[in-house]
Amino acid sequence: MEISGIHHVALIVSDIENAKRFYRDVLGLTIIAENYREERDSWKIDWQLPDGRNLEMFSFPGSPERHHTLRQEG
């Protein structure tokens, strides 16, 4: 099997407000949609990546703390 591309990637975050600041203010991504899902006590945010793909971000109560790791080259 050969993978021809990726439509979207999903992330789980432990702190939705901190993650929003990072992805919006540091990485410069745009929020396409933001929905609170009351039945899950969870947020879902859809981000637009520069190449047109999407990034889905989810928050869940009690999820473990997560850390960002970025590397810059060049």
Considering the domain boundaries, does residue 70 fall inside one? no
User: Cα–Cα distances in Å, from 21 out to 5, 39, 64?
Assistant: 28, 25, 19
Asked whether residue 3 is assigned to any structural domain, the reply reads no
Residue 51, domain member (yes or no): yes
Residue 65, in any domain of the structure: no
CATH number, position 18: 3.10.180.10
Pick 26 or 1 by higher pLDDT: 26
**Which residue range forms the structural domain that includes residue 40?**
8-59
For the chain, the domain total comes to: 1
Q: 68 pLDDT band (50/70/90 cuts)?
A: low
In a domain, 71, yes or no: no
The predicted pLDDT at position 33 comes to 97
What is the per-residue pLDDT for 8? Answer: 76
- Any domain includes 53: yes
Within a domain: 74: no
**Residues in contact with 46: Cβ distance below 8 Å, sequence separation at least 6, in sequence order:** 31, 32, 33, 34, 54, 55, 56, 57
How much is the pLDDT for 1?
Answer: 83
pLDDT (tens digit per residue) in 2-39 = 888 777 788 888 889 989 999 999 999 999 999 999 99
